Structure 1
Amino acid sequence: MTDLLAPILPQPDPDWAEAFRVPIIECDQPLQALGIATGFAVWPAYHRLGVPNAQPECYARTEVFERLLHAASLLPDGLRLVILDAWRPFAVQQHLYDTLYDILRQHEPEADPAELTRRTREFVAPPSTRAESPSPHLTGGAIDLTLCDSEGRWLDMGSLFDEATPRSYTRHYEAIAEPDEAQRRIRDNRRILFNSMSAAGFSNLSSEWWHYDYGDQLWAAHLGKPHALYGPAQVLALEQLWRQQLEGLHS
């Protein structure tokens, strides 16, 4: 039985160069729309926030969908997963990376560019469409999510989604020696999310309590897998679907 309140143990920070060297053996699972799922809620955050090119739907690979349903089934009565983002177009990844980098540079104009890059990468993965090293969200294997109660009230997780401060580090509240009642509640909310997702086979990005991976290179590197399952994916337009279907008839 999964102990949802087990402490979150220290995790290694991601080594992006190492992760991007993990080979990918694409399994060709399609992207699935998550919006009609009944096992969890979906709130496409970037679309709702007006980010250019953000999708009005959240998509994930088939196995990711199934594992989200499993994670949701482990939650205590009255709690639900809320999916905030999943598959992400490259244009959105580039926008998020460039925007955060520019804000950090404006806030600290004397900072070294290498340090600005390091800090940007804590919260936004390097944009990449390369077949051998795609950004995690471009694969359909990365998920951003939080928790809500049965009435749709979001639980207090101690920082905002995408907040670029140390409060967003997954273990931030584990490190408080004598937490007060509010801090204990936040810590326990993060533990519930972390332990349910871990039990379903996901890995967590240590700098983002909301970010989990399955099947991509970050997941494979974190869990010591010999290869990743997912390379770059694409939501096909109707014209592309028709072409693909017709080509299949004549192959």
Structure 2
Amino acid sequence: MDLLAPIPEAPEPDWAAAFRMPIAECGQPLQALGISQGFLVWPAYHRLGIPNALPECHARSEVFDRLLHAANLLPDGMRLVVLDAWRPFAVQQHLYDTLYDILKHHEPEADPAELTRRTREFVAPPSTRADAPSPHLTGGAVDVTLADRDGRWLNMGSLFDEATPRSYTRHYEAFEQPTKLQRRVRDHRRLLFNVMQAAGFSNLSSEWWHYDYGDQLWAWHTGASKAIYGPAQVLPLEQLWRQQLDGLRKPL
């Protein structure tokens, strides 16, 4: 496969249509990613001090496997880095509200509908609805970047979660005569896009770092008939104990 194939054009998601995609929950559990030897994990929101963010990244078991596959496709000397995966609702709400408020403060005369549209470019609407959960609440959405062999992050042309057009996945594809730096950034994004796509993920066109598998956004992007991941939950110890004790009452 051509790891540096150009990133194709992709439409901005129709969130209403995506949230209408049916969900056939497959029941795959969430797994902690931090013990993986195949890729690096840096839980960005916890490190940045976002309230209620967890010190570990969790994803569905098949997402874990597909991340390993994507990491194995990278050239020698490059590593995949997971920045975020399953996300508590409180974190989703915090990110959405914070970005909306910043945009409103920056452009006080802007129409609320336009502010909502621009906020949705970078943060999905918070939702725990069983039929329309936010992608990161399913354990199917992941935020990723690239690093070198020693863990130094590669230049991707914008910061993670940067709310500017530079974050659009194809931003650096538009330069007809890119500089050496622009070409390097473009190739880093192409490399990330192509290995993640080869592993079965779809990309959110406004965020070079955001990829989905199994959730409604993935189903909408890929033309799948249904999503396989609904809302998921990292259970506290007390609830795990209750489930384990309840399981003792059931025959094997």
Q: What is the TM-score with the length of structure 1 in the denominator?
A: 0.99
Q: Deviations over 1:127-147 (max 9, x none)?
A: 000000000000000000100
Q: Where does residue 223 of structure 2 map in the other structure?
A: 224
Indicate whether 1:235 and 2:223 are aligned.
Answer: no
- Within 5 Å, which residues of 2 pair with 1:88-237? 88-237=87-236
Q: Which amino acid aligns with 1:117?
A: T
Distance 1:143 1:25 in 2: 20
Q: Which runs of 4+ in 1 moved over 4 A?
A: none
2: CA distance between counterparts of 1:136 and 1:81? 21
Shift of 1:239: 1.1
Is the deviation greater in 236-245 or in 125-134?
236-245
Separation in structure 2 between the aligned mates of residue 227 and residue 245 of structure 1, nearest angstrom: 31
**How far 1:122 sits from its partner (Å)?**
0.1
Deviations 1:177-226 (A, max 9, x none): 11010000000000000000000000000000000000000000000000
Q: CA deviation at 1:248?
A: 1.8
Report how far residue 245 of structure 1 moved. Answer: 1.4
Q: What is the one-letter code of the residue matched to 1:80?
A: R
Q: How many residues align?
A: 250
Distance in 1 of aligned mates of 2:42 and 2:159:
15
User: Within the alignment, does 1:22 sit opposite 2:27 as a pair?
Assistant: no
RMSD in angstroms over aligned alpha carbons? 0.5
TM-fit CA distance, 1:250: 1.6
CA distance in 2 between partners of 1:164 and 1:203 (Å): 20
What whole-Å deviation, never above 9, does each CA across 1:12-66 have from its counterpart, x for those lacking one?
Answer: 1100000000000000000000001000000000000000000000000000000
- What TM-score do the two structures reach when normalised by structure 2? 0.99
The aligned amino acid for 1:184 is R
**CA deviation vs aligned residue, 1:142-178 (integer Å, no higher than 9, x gap):** 0001000001110000000000000000000001111
1:77 counterpart residue number: 76
Structure 1: unaligned runs, 5 residues or longer: none
Which residue of structure 2 lines up, in the alignment, with residue 50 of structure 1?
49
TM superposition shift of 1:249: 2.1
Instruction: Tell me how far apart the structure 2 counterparts of residues 250 and 21 of structure 1 sit (CA, whole Å).
Output: 38
Q: 2: CA distance between counterparts of 1:115 and 1:35?
A: 38
Task: Tell me the amino acid that sits aligned with residue 40 of structure 2.
Answer: A
User: How many angstroms apart in 1 are the aligned matches of 2:131 and 2:200?
Assistant: 23
